[in-house]
Amino acid sequence: MSLIKKIGCIAAMMAMALPGFAHASNDPVMDAQVKRINDEWARIKYQVQGKDQQYQQLDKLAVQAAQVVAKYPGHAEPLLWQGIVTSEEAAQAPMFKQLGFATAARDILLKAYKIDPLAEKGGVAMSLGVLYYKVPGWPIGFGDAKKAKAYLNQGIVVDPSSLDTNWFFGDYWVTKGDNNRARAFFTKALSAPVNPDRPVWDAGRRAEVHAAMAKLK
């Protein structure tokens, strides 16, 4: 059984989108490089078949994300996407590597949070929340339901109508067995406007939401 219940984020997250997480900063060159990372992440997550292929391509993307972080020290946006890519690696990696990747993703995201907790319309906080509810708690991992909810709340306060924030909060309530709350958040997620700048992510995420809603009793 996987140590990670299913980390997909975070991925989150983000763009906008991501929440979209892909909001412009004051540096258009950096923004373009960050967007290339999140577009490639979406392609791998939603269009590449097979965990092994996804893992191999994510490993290469992680190197590129680290290079962008090194080029723009002190900026939360590159760190956010490095954390998202690393968390996705956790989901696709061999079991014995999953917790290590998840821990690394958390540490990267915490660095971004210290720089700007509201970066990318709350995407940093939301991504941390996802990790804290996806990863098992003690004694296996660092998962923490209280921390997860606190971070998720921060994210949704900043961006209450986005596809990602509502998707992940709905997924959180599924893990808590509250299908009514989950359904409400999923419904709100699907009401978010389609993002023409991130078509692969938008279509893939909506498919995930529809699939999750179909499983609710």
Instruction: Give the CATH number of the domain where residue 136 resides.
Output: 1.25.40.10
HEC per residue, the chain: CCCCCCCCCCCCCCCCCCCCCCCCCCCHHHHHHHHHHHHHHHHHHHHCCCHHHHHHHHHHHHHHHHHHHHHCCCCHHHHHHHHHHHHHHHHHCCHHHHHHHHHHHHHHHHHHHHHCCCHHHHHHHHHHHHHHHHCCCCCCCCCCHHHHHHHHHHHHHHCCCCHHHHHHHHHHHHHCCCHHHHHHHHHHHHCCCCCCCCHHHHHHHHHHHHHHHHHCC
- Domain membership flag for residue 23: no
Determine the average pLDDT of the residues in 47-56.
94
Determine the average pLDDT of the residues in 172-194.
96
- Domain membership flag for residue 76: yes
- The whole-number pLDDT of residue 15 equals 30
Show the tokens assigned to 213: 């809603």
Q: How many domains does the chain have?
A: 1
- Domain membership flag for residue 9: no
Report residue 126's pLDDT band, with 50, 70 and 90 as the boundaries.
Answer: very high
Nearest to 148 by CA among 120, 181, 125, 122: 125
Report residue 95's pLDDT band, with 50, 70 and 90 as the boundaries.
Answer: confident
- Domain membership flag for residue 166: yes
Q: For 167-183, b where at least 16 C-beta lie within 10 A, e where not — what string?
A: bbbbbbbbeeeebeebb
Which of 16-20, 82-86, 133-137 shows the lowest per-residue confidence on average (mean pLDDT)?
16-20
Report residue 26's pLDDT band, with 50, 70 and 90 as the boundaries.
Answer: confident
- Domain membership flag for residue 92: yes
Statement: residue 20 has pLDDT above 80: no
Highest average pLDDT, of 9-13, 21-25, 108-112, comes from 108-112
- Domain membership flag for residue 11: no
Determine the average pLDDT of the residues in 62-73.
98
What's the domain range around 197?
28-215
- The whole-number pLDDT of residue 6 equals 43
- Domain membership flag for residue 3: no
- The whole-number pLDDT of residue 143 equals 94
- The whole-number pLDDT of residue 21 equals 54
Statement: residue 18 has pLDDT above 90: no
- Domain membership flag for residue 1: no
Statement: residue 23 has pLDDT above 80: no
Mean pLDDT score across all residues of the chain: 89
Nearest to 93 by CA among 48, 142, 58, 131: 58
